[in-house]
Amino acid sequence: MRGLQAAGGAPLTEGGAPGGSGGGTGDTGAAGGTTEGAAGGTTGGAAGGTADGETEGAAGADGPVLPPGRRRIAVLATIAPIVYLLDLVTKTVVLKTLEGRDPLVLVPDLLQFRVIFNSGAAFSIGTGMTIVFTFVAAAVVIAILRTARHLRSLPWAVTLGLLLGGALGNLTDRVFRWPSGFGREAPFQGYVVDFIETFPGHFPVWNIADAGIVCGGILAVLLAWRGYQIDGTRDTGQKEQNDNG
């Protein structure tokens, strides 16, 4: 019997049996704790390491990936200069080629180019309120730039890009074209160059900046009507329905 105890690693004395038994239990607890700790640590470490590794790998595979907000701002920052440059270039070209000349008819009774100088808003609305529209355009530009910090929606990025490019195009005319400009007596009252005339005699003359403003305004109304928010969320009215229900 003593040989079997010795072979099994049990204490050889009866006095040591309880203590030994207790020690065995403690060792078992310690082993269990060690196992759980090791398993937990290993699992947590592996999971954390795997997640971090996948994230870093995904980010480093094709180079740095821009956050959604920055990607949307990049879209806005691409569309606005395109609209602005198209407006500036077309105005410069028509002034050099058509100012003081007869209209250039492209499609009879439908489309022609004719240079006019507009002191009002888009489509020659509100003539005589030039300085008011100058400050309105400046306020629109500032508001769009402030709103861009919360931009997470692609449709809104396109909308704000159109509005910003159009506002900057006409604002440039207000600040730098006659009778405004450096050293002149009518600051911020420059005339906007309009040259696109559709349905001659029946529709106001407009330019690329006006088109950007109108298209952006229509998109803004549609997005607001559909519940699309600038931060990328969508208000479906579900909360209000639940409250009423």
Q: Which of 87, 102, 210, 243 is catalytic?
A: 210
What one-character DSSP code corresponds to residue 122? Answer: G
Tokens of 181: 């400009």
Tokens of 146: 């402030």
What is each CA distance from 96 to 77, 93, 166, 179, in whole angstroms? 29, 5, 22, 18
Query: Cβ(79)–Cβ(151) under 8 Å?
Result: no
Catalytic site includes residue 194: yes
What is each CA distance from 21 to 16, 24, 29, in whole angstroms? 8, 5, 12
What is each CA distance from 212 to 68, 87, 235, in whole angstroms? 24, 9, 26
Q: Which of 194, 231, 235, 243 is catalytic?
A: 194
Q: What residues are labeled active site?
A: 194, 210
